[in-house]
Every structure is written in C-alpha cells, then in structure tokens.
Amino acid sequence: MAEIGIIGAGTWGTALGVLLCHNGHRVTLWSAFQEDIQYLKENGMHKNLPGAELPEEMAFTASMEEAVREKELLVLAVPSIYVRTTARAMAPWCTEGQLVVNVAKGIEESTLMTLTQVIGDEIPGACVAVLSGPSHAEEVGRKMPTTCVVSSRTQKTAEYLQSIFMSPVFRVYTTPDMLGVELGAALKNVIALAAGVADGLGYGDNTKAALITRGVAEICRLGVRMGAKMETFYGLSGMGDLIVTCASVHSRNRRAGYLIGQGRTMKEAMDEVKMVVEGVYSAKAAKGLAEKYQIEMPIVTEVCKALFEDKPAADAVNDLMLRDKKVESPALPWE
C-alpha cells in the first residue's frame, strides 16, 4: 500500500484517485478550491463524473502541504497551463528523489518544454514520470477496461508505477521513450481539434480518417527530429490516444473543434465546452516546435490559423486539400 497525493481534483485526477483507492492505496485528493473539496466530501461523487462513486476512505484537502508532505507518490493532474505554478507550490514539501507522475497532456507555450521538463525545472530533485494513453476519465471512473503506458528515466521506476496503477480494468505498459509519450499526448489534441472542425463542417468518415492518418505523419516527423522513437507514435500514447480523442463524445478537443466548424470563434467554443481545451494551448506550442525544428506540419498550421487568425474553417480544409502534390512515404524507393 502506498501513500499517494493527487494534485488536481478535476475529472482525471478524481478518476485516478478512485482507481488507486480500489487498488488498495491511501489517497489524498487536492483541489485549490475549497468549494470543490466540500462538494466531493458531501456528495461522494464528482459532478462531471456520473456513475463514479468516491470511496469512503479517500481523503480530500485544499492544503498543499497535507497533500504533498510524506507522500510516496504524487500524481500531478492539473491542466497543462497550470503545471508550472502548481509544481512550484508543491516544491517546498517535496523531498529529494520525490516521485511525481504527470498525467496532464500539453507543451508549455512560452518555453516549448514538455511537462515533465517543467516539473523538473520547478522541483529539481524530483524523479519525474508520465502516464498517458487513450483514457477518458468518464470511462475510467466507471471501471471500463482501459490501457495506458507509463514512462520514466529508469526501468525500475516505470515498473514500480506499473504495479501501482495496474488493475483488472486498467492495464499499464512501460516504455523508456518519455519524450515520445509526452509529444504524442500533447500533439494529438491539436489533430483532434481539426477532426472536430471536420465534423462541424458536416464532413464524413473519409475526412476524419485522412486527418488521423496524416496527423500521425506530422507528429512522427516532429517527434523523431526531436529525438523520440517512431514506435511510440504508433502505440498507446500516439495512435491510440489520437483515435479516441478524434472520435469520442467525451473529447473536449473534438467538441471545441466541432463548434468552430459550425462557426463559433475559439473563445466561444471554449466557453461552451466549459472545461480546459488542451489542444488550443498546445497548437501554438506545436507550431513553435515545427518552426524551431524546421518540420512541415500543415494540419497544425491550419488549425492555428483557424484558432488565432479567424480563418474560416472551410477555407483551412480547402487549403489542406489543395497543397502541392506529395509522396506518402518518401523513404520507400521505386523499383
């Protein structure tokens, strides 16, 4: 049994808290908002997680010290835009070698750093890892079979975390490619926005399949140039997460894209979704990385134009279709 602090009482942090409690661990769930803690205590459920009952033994707190001090494992589950400030707030109570698992998905726009890099920047002595994959909180909270991947700097740490999270309904694989896991997790949100736009425009399965497939190509080009492994992007945190985020009714990114495809502005779409849409924040970072590493990412480019330059969604799709002729797999030789 491990003492675990979950930093962030959104749907994902809460769903993981339920999972870890059922795995026999002692879990303390933290929120910055006292009213959220009170709601969880009084109702035994999260208002955005229907069907997920909170175990009686789960503890709740608005005190960062209580959530972090003397915990064997910390799960950082706040939206990507709050990772740096939250890690900074955690740091005073973290010990040397503190194990911190990031479960948010994004890239810091101002620095182009991955989130584990951000955490390491703010908590220098921490042992940082990442858990990712096709895993909507709404389904994990209801104990639907789910598979994820965990990565860290050492095999020993990854296998320890695998044992902590693994359950009959939550299967966990390990990989040494932490950079690939994080890039796949962040960039798929941008492609999911594009898939949602296509849905909002009334396009069909052909369009979505094209966006997913060519989206993987863009992610692979950038990721490999940055030092990640190609195999990772065809795995759970790449193709797996991309498929579920582009297609699921639970996907905030797809939903926001759908609204933009129907004519809403980026701000109107985010206001209507009412939760953080990670792809909006990752889109600028993805474009920045593409420019830094001189990688062609046309889907990312058009998404940014639709989000931040008010380019009509239909024009963005049209410009994607009318680009110069290309070879699908340049590495394959003609006989």
CB atoms within 10 A of CB 117: 17
Contact 115, 83 (CB under 8 A): yes
Sheet holding 3-7, edge to edge: 59-61, 26-30, 3-7, 73-76, 99-102, 127-132, 146-151, 170-175
Contact 257, 246 (CB under 8 A): no
Reduced to 3 states (helix: H, G, I; strand: E, B; else coil), residue 248 is: coil
Q: Which amino acid, one-letter code, is at 329? A: S
Question: Using the 8-state DSSP alphabet, how is residue 329 labeled?
Answer: -
As a whole number of angstroms, the distance between CA 314 and CA 225 comes to: 31
* Active site (catalytic) residues: 188
Closest C-alpha among 87, 171, 159 to residue 125: 87
